[in-house]
Structure 1
Amino acid sequence: MELRHLRYFVAVAEERNFTRAAKRLHIAQPPLSRQIQQLEETLDVQLFERNARPLKLTETGKFFYEHAVQLLAKTSELESMTRRVGNIERSMSVGFVASTLYGLLPKIIRRFRDENPTVELSLHEMSTMDQIRALKDGIIDVGFGRIRMEDANIRRVVLREEKMIVAFPLGHPLALAKPIAALRDLIDETLIVYPKTPRPSYADQVLAAFQDRGLKPRKIYEVREIQIALGLVAAGEGISIVPSSVYGLKRDDVSYRELDDPTLVSPIIMSMRAMDESRDIKEMLALVYRLYEDEQIPHVPSADKAP
């Protein structure tokens, strides 16, 4: 018994007429009748009541029809899924810290998908430290984070150094007094930092900026993520030091000011397994640099282009 026998049988059973079934199958009626006869001989059963008009299934035929339809449906699904697997030649998992979503990362992902339609791309929000572990465990293939972390098994590429800015509650006196802020002016404010865990994290970069300058905020409020930090800023609970890409997050209850020290930056780092020289990794890295240049965004030059 072959799949074509099942298709022929189902067509005759549904059309209840050999002539209409033959037309549906785009074959002549005599060959169709022979195929059904062969099927009955193979199974050693009678599937149709030949003398009935219109054609009727026997009880055995009704049983066989129900299972034939299911089998043909599964066969069609198998064909479809096999084609899909054949078209998706590659897959790549990307880890990212939440703050990178306010920068160029969404455009990088969209452009990569457009240019590589056969790559199945999945995204995973996770801290930089979690990204390192996920890379080693094979859970992700590339990560976009902010923490400088040395590990012999991980290759890290600093893409750009993003300026830090201050988020003030709308109408805050310091924001109204100066267009550019200084860290020393912020020590009497409640400093809201994120993420609370795991550490080290972006919070440690902010705290180190104060410590390196011999400054200590009066009060530090640790929260889980950037959105909570900005929500608390809007509520007047304190101020927060955030990456400049947060400018893209439009809020009418928070005002931003630049800092007077150009060395106050947070890196955006692309991490991958040290030995991973795959085509997709190379294409994504090249795409990042291409978009930086197209958008005229200051960045650390590619090692391949650096003098």
Structure 2
Amino acid sequence: MESRELAYFLAVAEEQNFSRAADRLGIAQPPLSRAIQRLERRLGVRLLDRTSRQVSLTRAGEVLLKEGRKALTTLATAERLARHAGQATSRLTVVMKPGGGAGLLESLLPRFAAHPDAVDVEVLICGLGEEKALLRDGTADVALLRLPQDDLSGLATEELLTERELVVMARTHRLAGRTSVRMADLAGEVFPRWTAESPGSGSVIKDTGQVAELIALGRMVAVLPESVACHLGRDLVAVPVDGRQTTLLAAWPEERRDHALAVFIRTAAEVAAMRSTRVTR
């Protein structure tokens, strides 16, 4: 199967319309239809059910859509990484969501810059849940993530530090005067949804400013890492949740072997260890 044929099929499958898919690809509709027919003959299965009004996926088509997306993403990543490997590393791109660095970068960046093998570092602030995709497509070199993660396949990781989780609430909340709470105490509360797929009844959150505003209005509470919770807003209360901790880790593509990246990860671990030592004293 050629990558071009796969790209043609994905366009038709996603648009569910040959005309729109042809416009998206910048080709005429007849050659697109012929290409899909050749692909079906080569595979020996029908991928699409066609009527005069619509195009729908067969079971085989659904499988090819899912796996085809992965294949094209992998191909694009391989191309980007090959180009990267053929060039001298002069820059590292670090990606994290807003407030996702646990305050480490303030010490990490100057310490890394002082290393003889340092390179320039670009910090990319992304949307919630975008870090791994940016690593896998080669846009970023290293990401700062929180455990647990649903899928770290293809990524190497280094645990940096573990911190408490606190529940953040409005000052008028019924639990605001507590010194600690249990998750059972929060039964019935509305929590933010970090992605559209997350369970719950709260709003889907795009950034920490949004969640701070909703908490201050008494519309929800949020359980957050201590480094985030304590800097979310002056009008909010943050109370430790018994037994809840979260771990920050650095993640990078496991096939990467360049020296500058290794130095950055080692420096991050050193800075995190120094911070952990200060906290536990």
The correspondence for 1:242, drawn from 224, 239, 248, is 224
Q: How does 1:2-21 map to 2 (within 5 A)?
A: none
* Aligned equivalents of 1:128, 1:221: Cα separation in 2: 14
For residue 234 of structure 1, report the CA deviation from its aligned partner. 1.3
Cα 1:225–1:128 change in 2 (3 A) is closer
Q: How does 1:34-113 map to 2 (within 5 A)?
A: 90-113=90-113
Alpha-carbon distance between aligned partners in 2 of 1:128 and 1:158, rounded to the nearest angstrom = 20
Letter in 1 for 2:181: A
Partner of 1:6: none
**Residue 138 of structure 2 is aligned to residue 158 of structure 1:** no
Partner in structure 2 of residue 131 of structure 1: 131
Q: Percent identity?
A: 16
**Superimposed CA distance per residue, residues 119-163 of structure 1 (whole angstroms, 9 cap, x where no aligned partner):** 121111225753323223221111111252445422122323332
Listed one character per residue, the Cα deviations across residues 42-94 of structure 1 (whole Å, up to 9, x for unaligned) are xxxxxxxxxxxxxxxxxxxxxxxxxxxxxxxxxxxxxxxxxxxxxx9721111
Displacement of 1:289 in angstroms is: 2.0
Q: Distance in 2 between matches of 1:194 and 1:102?
A: 21
Name structure 1 gaps, 5 residues minimum: 1-87, 208-216, 300-307
Partner Cα distance (1:110, 1:174) in 2: 40
Q: Secondary structure at the match of 2:188?
A: coil
Please tell me the residue identity of whatever aligns with 2:227: S
CA RMSD of aligned residues (A): 2.9
TM-score norm. by structure 2 comes to 0.59
Please report how far the alpha carbon of residue 221 of structure 1 lies from its aligned counterpart in structure 2 after TM superposition: 3.3
Q: Is the contact between residue 195 and residue 226 of structure 1 (CA under 8 Å) also seen in structure 2?
A: no
- Aligned 8 A contact 1:95 1:140 in 2: yes
> Larger Rg: 1 or 2?
1
Q: Which amino acid aligns with 2:156?
A: R
AA at the equivalent of 2:121: L
3-state DSSP of counterpart to 1:134:
helix
- Counterpart among 271, 277, 281 of residue 261 in structure 2: 281
Residues 118, 89 of structure 1: alpha-carbon distance in 2 compared, 3 angstrom cutoff: farther
Q: CA deviation at 1:99?
A: 2.7
**Cα 1:241–1:288 shift into 2, 3 Å:** same
1:187-207: CA deviations, max 9, x gaps?
A: 23222x24235x6xxxx5xx6
How many pairs are equivalent? 191
